[in-house]
A and B are shown apart, each in its own frame.
Chain A
Amino acid sequence: MKYVDAFRDPAASRAVVSELASLAGKLRESGIRPAIMEVCGTHTMAIARNGIRDVLPPEVSLISGPGCPVCVTEPGYIDAAILAATRATVFTFGDMLNVPGSEDSLATARAAGADVHPCYSPSAALDFARANPARETVFLAIGFETTIAPVAALAAAAENGLPNFSMLTALKLVPPALAALVSDPAVHIDAFLCPAHVSAIIGSDAYAPFAGPGGRPCVIAGFEPLDILYGIRCILAQLADGQAFVENEYARVVKPEGNVKAQNLISRYMEPYDAAWRGIGVIPASGLRLRKQYGAMDAESRFGIRVEPGTPPTGCRCGDVLKGILNPPGCPLFDGRCTPENPVGPCMVSSEGACAAWHSYRRIAPAGKDA
């Protein structure tokens, strides 16, 4: 595939790995054992799928962050979505189907007759609403900035002339989550490997508050293996030089200012609020919801549904996994009570969840390596 295959070249990967070893040697002399958080779930999955941990110097650790939207969605949101499905046709990203709510999942509700449709694009919900004007249609709008931009475009398309369309939103922002992580004394992170496509929307300048004196290296990398390896190489180079700046290694897509057209559309339809993150808690101004004047498109006000926190599963340590305090095998439920076939926590459900990634790929790792 054009502009994909070139970023998977094994020979170039070996060259980057060689540079990683050299830089790690310098860090070793300084007594630095870097802990790098890959913020985004797509990076988590790509790292696991491509066996990137296996080629890293042993003193370099990668920690999965909170950037899996399914994983940080509260069980109460699932409960509300199931309720919405009793009153409307519901469209959702497929990843959401098996996420446990307080008692049921959308998949079990669907099996019991609820009108729930998995979709690739939110446009499917819009098309359905247009074709079925007598049928209430709800899109489950969850995601980070990459998805928030399409959701804003959806709102613009539906604003006039689609009175039967609404959205149940759980939209979250990456920078406030990073701010919460760096202020948590239990979390130890030396650098951030910043998301690729979230950054396409918000721009590389958005990470400036986390870099600079007293801050951390923030390196934006694409999702292909060479992009990731080279991003880690740049982080090690910054740490070896005692630097901490924002470095955009995905300049083919990410601009300093981001996608301004998308940002303006988002601001027009949405406003920030203090959002609850599953397993983490409430983070100030970390969520976006439809502005009051667009309440007709808000499924909560339209159907009188309230998204409550819900009841998280007993024993599940997804919150600690999402904060990078715990690797998935450290959870007592991992690969026992909690598997992708019978998930207990959301990190085992989404293909981008840290637990699902560790479960899927650790078995093919070389002996003595975790993943």
Chain B
Amino acid sequence: MAQRIGVSAEGHGKMCLAVPMELTDVRTGGRGTARADGIVRDVDISLIDDPRTGEFVIVHAGFAIERLDRAEAEARIALFEDMARRVSTPEFAS
């Protein structure tokens, strides 16, 4: 589980991994709390303009580097779901 958020079993950083996490708390001083898959982390949110609780951000090395646009994400998921449905039709299988 820990490896999925960019920390190896030894606790050493794999430097370029970054994952989407949900902001659960926004504090002063550019700090906040984010969670993903039950993992909760203190993150630096000073690189994000006007961060809000409930937003998803991409967290890299403990810093939120950009917010995730949920509408864009959902649209892309819908595209892939549509492609998956087509691949499962008998016409495609043949």
Taking beta carbons and an 8 Å cutoff, which residues of A are in contact with B? Answer: 1-4, 6-7, 9, 11-12, 14-16, 18, 40-42, 68-70, 93-95, 97, 118-123, 142-143, 146-147, 149-150, 153, 156-157, 197, 200-201, 226, 230, 251-255, 259-262, 265, 351-352
Contacts and interface: CB of A to CB of B under 8 A. Distances in A.
Contact of A11 (B12, B37, B69, B88): B88
Contacts of A142: 15
Interface of B: 4, 6-8, 10-20, 22, 30, 36-37, 44, 46-49, 56, 58, 60-63, 65-70, 72-73, 76-77, 80-81, 83-88, 92
Q: Which 6 A-B pairs have the closest CB atoms?
A: A94-B12, A121-B62, A11-B84, A120-B13, A15-B83, A93-B15
Given A197-B16, A351-B14, A12 B36 contact: no
A113 to B, nearest CB: 19
B83 A156 contact: no
B74 to A, nearest CB: 9
11 contacts: A1-B37, A3-B68, A4-B20, A15-B84, A18-B87, A121-B44, A121-B62, A147-B15, A226-B80, A252-B72, A253-B68
Given A11-B88, A146-B18, A94 B63 contact: no
Given A6-B77, A153-B44, 8 more contacts: A1-B4, A12-B84, A15-B92, A40-B16, A93-B14, A122-B62, A226-B80, A261-B48
A253 to B, nearest CB: 5
Nearest to B85: A11
Contact of A94 (B14, B65, B73): B14
Interface of B is mostly: mixed
B92 A18 contact: yes
A211 B1 CA distance: 39
A150 B57 CA distance: 14
Interface-centre pick from B37, B72, B85 (highest chain A CB count, 10 A): B72
A360 to B, nearest CB: 13
B84 A9 contact: yes
Contacts of B65: 146, 149-150, 197, 200-201, 259, 262
Contacts of A15: 83-84, 86-87, 92
Nearest to B47: A262
Contacts of A1: 4, 19-20, 36-37
A113 B92 CA distance: 63
A237 to B, nearest CB: 14
B84 A69 contact: no
B36 A121 contact: no
A201 B37 CA distance: 25
Contact of B44 (A41, A97, A123): A123
Contacts of B85: 11
A119 B6 CA distance: 11
Given A3-B20, A150-B62, A261-B49, A120 B72 contact: no
B68 A70 contact: no
Contacts of A230: 80
B68 A149 contact: no
A14 B73 contact: no
A200 B66 contact: yes
